[in-house]
Amino acid sequence: MLPALIVLWFLRLFKPEWLVAFYVPGLGPIKSIPTVILYGMLAYLVLFKTSTIRIDWPFTIYLACVALSTIFAENTGLGRKGFQGVFDNFVFFAVNMSVLSQKDNMRALDTILSMYVLSFVVYGLVGIAYKGIVPYHVYLDDEDFFGPFMDIGVAVSLIAAYQTAKPNRFYLMTGVISIVGLVASFARGAFLSFCATGLYIWWRSSNRVKNAMMLLIAAVFTVSVTFILFPENAYWKEMATIGNSLENEKSEGRHFLIKKGFEIFALYPVLGAGPLNYGFIIPRITSEAEAQSRGMHAAQYATRVAHNIYIQILAELGTIGAMAFVGLIVVFWVRSRKVRRLYAQHLPQGGRVQLEADSREQWHKMLMFGFAFEAAMVAYMLNGIFYPILFCPWFYDLLILNALVFRYLKTAAGQPSQAAQKTLGVPQWQWSAS
């Protein structure tokens, strides 16, 4: 089962089947291979009971809310499509928790984390080469998705690089590639989110004076890249239009789309209009005169998206779905805090449990990845203000990896070593325990 799970993560992260189908369209059906493997693994776990099936209860509640919204959706076809995506991620979460809950399999988490970081290198290089998109990818073929993804890559790689006293050069290189990819995306909201995420990382670090210099270096590098990729100050001219985009009265004006989202929520306040039903409902609540004043026909709004995950949640999943989504975020932060507490109990000098040297290094690695995922979640949530990334898998990846890191440390804490504890080398970047 463990090799199958590694393969499944590889397919999920790198999507080679999409690359093949992009150049050989007749092979489109191979895109379903990951789904077949996923449900095959679930069937194996259920039939042969090789391990206990573990589900994440906050995710189960969220799934139930999405299911209710789907049942009462205005367009149940779109609703079922949205529900299927959430359900697939729910099953993937359960398979990971079930297979990796076994102590002997927990080390496989190292392989998964390495692949996760490597995915930012691969897509970053391809995106830079294609000026801000990954042509064959289901999501990253759009700058508005590629930019937020690179934001997440910056947060994950630059923090995880400091899992040891000497920074990991590969992870630092990944962060550099992600920054260049972010700039190449030419995405204004992603740039704002990048700046805010950087400030969050600095605020959460324990040595803010030293790390302020590191952020300054990153800022200087980012500015330099903008002038290299976009001569004649084109990048900063585009960033200067951020304020105008909210007031834009053209067909894609975000304030108009946000207003329509609130109108949909007012019509369906409890369960929402149904997953992926935002665009389906807009033509019903937009008069032809109003649409024509914006250079559109009302029917054309059926293809529009909210450009804001929070408006989308309210419009499509209603109050109940929004509360369940908030619950996922709260549980994510609770687990992140528990990771820090477990570390504080075991690793620092004076901790109540003693560990061997290799275990100390592994624990510190998990701590820094915990911080990396926390910063990445901040990047995701900030980008969600500007982009329709609600049903992208990145959110679920962070939930799953956060839960796996927590379970890894919790499992390891149950079987502590009796070796003498030694002081761990202090890395250049420390995560504040507060």
pLDDT averaged over every residue in the chain:
85
> Which of 9-18, 43-52, 96-105, 413-422 has the highest mean predicted lDDT (pLDDT)?
9-18
299 within a domain of the structure (yes/no): no
Considering only residues 210 and 364, tell me which one the structure prediction assigns the higher pLDDT. Answer: 364
257 within a domain of the structure (yes/no): no
Q: What is the pLDDT of residue 240?
A: 77
pLDDT > 60? residue 434: no
Sign of the CA dihedral running 323, 325, 326, 331: positive
pLDDT > 60? residue 348: no
- pLDDT class of 272 with cuts at 50, 70, 90: very high
Task: Give the domain range for residue 61.
Answer: 2-241+311-413
Sign of the CA dihedral running 117, 121, 126, 129: positive
pLDDT > 50? residue 274: yes
253 within a domain of the structure (yes/no): no
- 58-70 pLDDT tens trace: 999 999 999 999 9
How many structural domains is the chain composed of? 1
21 within a domain of the structure (yes/no): yes
- In the Cβ-directed half-sphere of 351, how many Cα atoms lie within 13 Å? 21
Residue type at position 8: L
247 within a domain of the structure (yes/no): no
Spatial separation of the C-alpha atoms in residues 286 and 320, rounded to whole Å: 26
136 within a domain of the structure (yes/no): yes
Long-range CB contacts (within 8 A, 24+) of 225-234: 225/179, 225/180, 225/183, 226/183, 229/180, 229/183, 229/184, 230/183, 230/186
143 within a domain of the structure (yes/no): yes
335 within a domain of the structure (yes/no): yes
Q: What is the pLDDT of residue 363?
A: 82
